[in-house]
Amino acid sequence: MDFASLLGIISGLALIFSAIFIGGSADIFVNIPGMMIVIGGTTAATLLTVQFRDVINAFRGAFIVFTGDKTNPRDMIDTMMELSRVSHRHGLLALNEVKSDSHVLQRACDLLAEAASEQVIRNTLQNEIDSLMSRHHAVQDVFRKMGTYSPAFGMLGTLIGLIQMLSQLDTPEAIGPAMAVALLTTFYGSFLATMVFIPIGGKLKARTLAEVTNLEIIREGCISILTNDHYMHVYEQLSSYIPEAQRKQISPSAGG
């Protein structure tokens, strides 16, 4: 799992539950009808807004993002530099032998080996970038909507509880517990939005930006390889995608 995600989940839950246990009994924070309103209402509203397939893809994508390794742009630059070396030593046709887990990089190598034009390579890889952004936007949108709906249903549950409380004004001793139960749904909605849905959406957006950067590195690297740019020129162009502090010195003779 991504270390930052693990640290955020553990620290966030630890702080919230510590405050609950320190303040008294945790049992008072359990209210089944309130959970049904918030969780059920959020799920129902989300399914009314987006397709069921998108919801399934959203949770599957979130699981992959939080458990899978992120491709570092520096690693992708190193990969493209290695392909540049192979191309200069053995020609573009040698790239046909390259095998990669990335279907985009594999497709790019096949296009280079086939001596496709620069415009074809640029358009093909740009379409891959646009398609990835569109798919990821649909996934992120699911969590953005759930982050919006859950506090709204929390407030709705509170209003329901207040109405029920006001109907019992003739029994003053029941007002306090009834008010606490009414406010619990707001707590549930805020908790889900701020600790679950919005952070997941943010993490997915950050992963999308990283993947887009990697695809842009592949696109620009392939075009540089196709135009037979010098090894140093290829690196200087690709290194602009990473912070200056992460760039390394390349010897002019490194290209072989």
In a domain, 19, yes or no: yes
Same domain, 58 and 136: yes
Structural domain of 141: 31-246
In a domain, 108, yes or no: yes
Same domain, 126 and 155: yes
Same domain, 1 and 59: no
Same domain, 123 and 8: no
Same domain, 183 and 128: yes
pLDDT digits 0-9 by tens, 187-246: 999 999 999 999 999 988 988 998 999 999 999 988 888 887 677 778 888 888 888 777
Same domain, 4 and 101: no
In a domain, 255, yes or no: no
In a domain, 256, yes or no: no
Residue spans of alpha helices (H) in the chain: 3-23, 32-35, 41-49, 52-67, 73-90, 103-113, 118-166, 175-192, 198-226, 231-238
100 closest CA partner among 210, 221, 218, 209: 218
Number of domains, the chain: 2
pLDDT digits 0-9 by tens, 232-241: 778 888 888 8
Rg (CA), the chain: 26
pLDDT at residue 103, as a whole number: 87
What number is the average pLDDT over the span 41-48? Answer: 94
pTM comes to 0.81
